[in-house]
Amino acid sequence: MNKVSIILPIYNVSQYLHECLDSVVRQTLKDIEIICVNDGSTDDSLEIIQEYAAKDPRIVVITGPNGGYGKAMNKGLDRATGEYVGIVEPDDYISLTMFEDLYEIAKENDLDFVKADFYRFGRNDKGDMELKYVALDGSKTRYGELLHPDQDPSLIKFVMNTWAGIYRREFLEEYHIRHNETPGASFQDNGFFFQTTIYGKRAMIVNKPYYRNRRDNPNSSVASKDKVYCSNVEYDFIKDIIMKDRDLWERFKAMYNWKKYQNCMFTLNRIAEGFKYEYLQRMSAEFKRAYKLGEFTKETFTQLEWSKLTMIMDKPDVYFASYVVGSAKPGSNKEKELQKKLDEANKKLAEIKRSNSWRVGRILTWPLRALKKLFGRA
């Protein structure tokens, strides 16, 4: 049995494919199989992988018509024979010791999966491309710790990716963890990420970057209506999986909605202007329904996230005028201005709550507030 099966889902990436394959075939861990799934490429990607396969017997080539990222990944997972499984996107590349190091950590700690920090290509203030370090754990407190993801919903807040680590194949097969086979290549990795997290019993993260990721342009506009609701479809897929186990759903429902919110906001910023209003209305209805069902609370979100979400749920037209038309994008001056106003309002509220009149008023209005909690949001 090979120690690691490495899956490359390939579609029209000839520009980067040589660099990617060179970094994989030259791994210091030699006992690997390299599964190249050509998903109907129309450039010379297939010729390139066949050229490498002719020189390296560890390379397996699977080719077929275009079926989308999820289907290509599932073909690779079905073909894999290794003890662990890794994923390398064909427009990325990796450090030569990545799989040897991660395999040793996984074996030593008997892990279902192990992931590492990574580098992502991005543009600096001058517009030049550079590598930026991405830490999986923003708090930087969980590295090297034996994690129990199935019991710890907070791990959903780790930076989402599926390719900066390896997964025990028996674990993937036990829970039949696969990708959603929707068309194209939009958000299907989210389902895989959630499944490995909610089912994983032993995991670890490493604060050493091995992976170099070329993310598609986060500022590019989604102009096709077929792609507008890809995130929503993926999160319906994820919800269906989690809800099969009532205990899992109760444990993860809040973090599920938090992660869905992050993806919806990302989508709202990316889709073409003509789709934004309709998308916001659907987002409002979905989160309002989830809130009424008790799937999340105010404490699930940061203060700023909650202020935005409540406006989206209660007054989507106002949010559209203030944020979408007003272009209060994350990090913008508009965003900072709104955050400043929110901070000032909260400061004034805190002063009021410390006053005697506030305390007396709370006592006098207690019966009314008790009734409101029974029939609606307080």
Claim to verify: residue 263 and residue 290 sit in the same structural domain: yes
Other CB atoms within a 10 A radius of the CB of residue 330 amount to 10
* Domain end point (choices 216, 250, 270): 216
Only one residue has tokens 């109907």, namely: 40
Spatial distance between the Cα atoms of 275 and 271, rounded to a whole number of angstroms: 7
108 is a domain residue: yes
Distances, alpha carbon 210 to alpha carbons 79, 95, 268, in Å: 25, 5, 31
Claim to verify: residue 199 and residue 326 sit in the same structural domain: no
Claim to verify: residue 183 and residue 308 sit in the same structural domain: no
Distances, alpha carbon 342 to alpha carbons 95, 307, 317, 318, 348, in Å: 44, 9, 20, 16, 10
Claim to verify: residue 236 and residue 200 sit in the same structural domain: no
Pairing, β 165-168 against β 59-64: unpaired
Claim to verify: residue 26 and residue 102 sit in the same structural domain: yes
Distances, alpha carbon 25 to alpha carbons 35, 182, 267, in Å: 11, 30, 36
354 is a domain residue: no
Q: Show the domain range for 287.
A: 228-330
Residue-level pLDDT at 224: 66
Range of weakest confidence among 37-41, 58-62, 136-140, 212-216: 212-216
Range of weakest confidence among 20-34, 98-112, 259-273: 259-273
Tokens of 264: 């919806």
Average pLDDT on 46-64 reads: 98
253 is a domain residue: yes
Average pLDDT on 347-369 reads: 66
H or E segment and range at residue 133: strand 129-134
Residue-level pLDDT at 323: 86
Claim to verify: residue 187 and residue 91 sit in the same structural domain: yes
Residue-level pLDDT at 378: 42
3-state secondary structure of 222: strand
Q: Please report, for the domain that includes residue 188, its CATH number.
A: 3.90.550.10
371 is a domain residue: no
| DSSP 8-state symbol, 139 | T
Claim to verify: residue 8 and residue 90 sit in the same structural domain: yes
Instruction: Judge whether residue 155 has pLDDT over 80.
Output: yes
Residue-level pLDDT at 182: 85
Count Cβ atoms within 10 A of the Cβ of residue 41 and give its class: 0-12 exposed, 13-18 middle, 19 or more buried: buried
CA atoms within 13 A on the CB side of 324: 25
Claim to verify: residue 203 and residue 278 sit in the same structural domain: no
Residue-level pLDDT at 183: 78
Q: How confident is the model at residue 36 (pLDDT cuts 50, 70, 90)?
A: very high
Tokens of 54: 């002719």
Angle (nearest 5°) at CA 293 between 290 and 299: 70
* Domain end point (choices 216, 241, 260): 216
Domain count, the chain: 2
Rounded to 5 degrees, φ, ψ at 121 are -70, 130
Q: How confident is the model at residue 342 (pLDDT cuts 50, 70, 90)?
A: low
Range of weakest confidence among 17-31, 49-63, 146-160, 207-221: 207-221
Claim to verify: residue 286 and residue 194 sit in the same structural domain: no
Q: How confident is the model at residue 129 (pLDDT cuts 50, 70, 90)?
A: confident
More confident residue, 293 or 226: 293
Its pTM stands at 0.83
Range of weakest confidence among 10-19, 227-236, 303-312: 227-236
Q: Using one digit for the tens of pLDDT, what is the confidence trace for 170-223?
A: 999 999 999 999 877 678 899 999 999 999 999 999 999 999 998 754 444 455
281 is a domain residue: yes
Average pLDDT on 42-70 reads: 97
248 is a domain residue: yes
Contact 186, 220 (CB under 8 A): no
Count Cβ atoms within 10 A of the Cβ of residue 222 and give its class: 0-12 exposed, 13-18 middle, 19 or more buried: middle
Pairing, β 113-123 against β 203-213: parallel
Residue-level pLDDT at 340: 65
3-state secondary structure of 36: strand
